[in-house]
């Protein structure tokens, strides 16, 4: 057993500076994750806008085709 542990009342928990450093590291990590998430969200939003645009184009094409079929039938 380490000698300091034999002395009663010795605080063997990490010192405040070490805890602060660990806290800063965890904060930096979560900030980085948030930034990545925000960037991914922007990319997903753009992709979704593209999906909406393609869907509108598809709807328009269906409308045209339906009109053509109706014209041909008449």
Contact residues: another protein, CB under 8 A:
13, 16, 19-20, 22-23, 26-27, 29-30, 33-34, 36-37, 40-41, 43-44, 47-48, 50-51, 54-55, 57-58, 61-62, 64-65, 68
Distances from the Cα of 66 to the Cαs of 11, 56, 63, 71, 73, in angstroms?
81, 15, 5, 9, 11
Q: For the chain, how many helices (H) and strands (E)? A: 2, 0
**Nearer of residues 1 and 17 to another protein, judged by Cβ:** 17
**Nearer of residues 10 and 30 to another protein, judged by Cβ:** 30
């Amino acid at each position: 057993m380490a000698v300091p542990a034999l002395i009663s009342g010795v605080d063997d928990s990490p010192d405040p500076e070490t805890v602060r450093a660990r806290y800063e590291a965890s904060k930096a990590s979560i900030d980085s994750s948030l930034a990545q998430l925000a960037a991914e969200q922007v990319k997903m939003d753009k992709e979704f806008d593209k999906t909406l645009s393609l869907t509108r184009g598809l709807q328009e094409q269906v409308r045209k085709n339906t009109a053509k079929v109706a014209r041909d039938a008449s």
